[in-house]
Amino acid sequence: MAGFHVRSVLVTGSNRGIGLELIKHFIGKPNPPEVIFATCRDPEGAQAQELKKLASKHPNVMILQLEATDSASIKSAAKKAEARLGGTGLNLLINNAGVMLPSTLESATPEDMLSVYNTNIVGPLLVTQAFLPLLKKAAQGSNQKGMSCSKAAIVNISTVLGSIEKTPETFSFVPVVSYRCSKAALNMLTKCQSMGYKQDGILCTALHPGWVKTELGNFQPNVQADLTVDESVSGLMKVICDLSEKHHGILMSWEGNTLPW
Ligand code: NDP
């Protein structure tokens, strides 16, 4: 972790929950990134006020409008990011935006399946495609050996609920079929990205943040998630700092353990 320095990072879905906490933790690092792109769907909306306050106090935070299901919005964000980076690349892309809807084998509809799939898997695919030239630029411009988030990396925020092997442990109390299928697909996308971008020196890893007290995590009335956002993101930050080629193309927990696909 010593010497770890990300010059630029982008986090999707950063107006609340885990995304907002990631922005706060990057700002609070002893050597914070020079540019922190905090993307959200509606920068002027009520749900973005805390992020806007942060950005007004920290000139290294730039808010970008980004709707993960809209390629025009993603391309426009990538153009603005490129201009701000002024010829340098993007070190770290964190695909965090995600949704979970109640969904059982009986209740799932084509509409639910496709809308969750669109945000949780088509979104990270399109966002990565749009920012890939900037990630490649960061990798090419780096004199660091091996892979790391301070060189060039894609971190996909996934979940253990997308792990096929782990499904028997959790299915009965959290069925969420559409969410599980979308995150299993995100795990596959991470593996494909790790194969496709290896020669570019871009590290690709999927991370499970734990069960976290956010709007998404507190989906069951009267049942509290395990972790505060600060506990989860403190763990994720440590994992992110320590990522290297041995973590390329795998799924890991917020505590740094490898999870089965
Ligand atoms: P929240 O519901 O608190 O936040 C979700 C974020 O994603 C919001 O910023 C939301 O923006 C954004 N978002 C949703 N849809 C889109 C979209 N189409 N385009 C752009 N942004 C979008 O969730 P969490 O912080 O808990 O979740 C973050 C990630 O962590 C997700 O990928 C989730 O699957 C994963 N995760 C969470 C767990 C938990 O226990 N909380 C457990 C395992 C994984 P808006 O405000 O506009 O809706």
Mean pLDDT for back-to-back runs of 10 residues, the chain (261 residues) = 81 98 97 98 97 98 98 98 97 98 96 97 98 98 95 98 96 94 98 98 98 91 90 98 97 98 97
Q: Given this model, what pLDDT does residue 95 score? A: 98
From the CB of 162, is ligand 1 less than 6 Å away? no
What is the predicted pLDDT for the residue at 154?
A: 98
How many Å lie between the centroid of ligand 1 and the Cα of residue 96? 6
Ligand 1, atom 11, lies closest to the CA of 13
CB of 13 sitting under 6 A from ligand 1: yes
Q: Which atom of ligand 1 is nearest to the CA of 18?
A: 25
What confidence score (pLDDT) does residue 221 get?
77
Tell me if 119 CB under 6 Å of ligand 1. yes
Q: Give yes or no for residue 213 CB within 6 A of ligand 1.
A: no
pTM, full prediction: 0.98
**Residue whose C-alpha is closest to residue 244's, from 196, 188, 186, 202:** 202
Pocket test for ligand 1, best of 21, 41, 239 (most atoms within 8 A of CB): 41
Ligand 1 centre from 260 Cα, in Å? 23
Q: Please work out whether the CB of residue 215 comes within 6 Å of at least one atom of ligand 1.
A: yes
Distance of CA 185 to the CA centre of its chain: 15
Q: What is the pLDDT of residue 3?
A: 60
Q: What CA dihedral angle connects 152, 9, 79 and 38, to 10 degrees?
A: 160
Q: Are 51 and 85 in contact (CB under 8 A)?
A: no
Distance 16 CA to ligand 1 centre (A): 8
Give the distance (Å) from ligand 1 centre to CA of residue 216: 7
Residues 86 and 213: their CA atoms lie apart, in Å, by: 37
Report whether residue 67 contacts ligand 1, using a CB cutoff of 6 Å.
yes
DSSP strand pairing (92-95 vs 251-253):
unpaired
pLDDT for 219 equals 81
Burial category of 174 from C-beta neighbours within 10 Å (exposed 0-12, middle 13-18, buried 19 and up): middle
Rounded to the nearest whole angstrom, what is the distance from the C-alpha of residue 222 to the centroid of ligand 1? 20
- Of 99, 186, 226, which is best to mutate to test ligand 1, by the most ligand atoms within 8 angstroms of its C-beta? 99
Q: Which of 216, 220, 228, 233 to mutate to test the pocket of ligand 1 (most atoms within 8 A of CB)?
A: 216
CA distance 206 to 224: 24
**CB 15 near ligand 1, within 6 Å:** yes
At residue 184, the pLDDT reads 98
- The interface predicted TM-score (ipTM) is 0.99
Helix or strand run (H / E) with residue 80: helix 71-85
Q: What is the DSSP letter of 245?
A: G
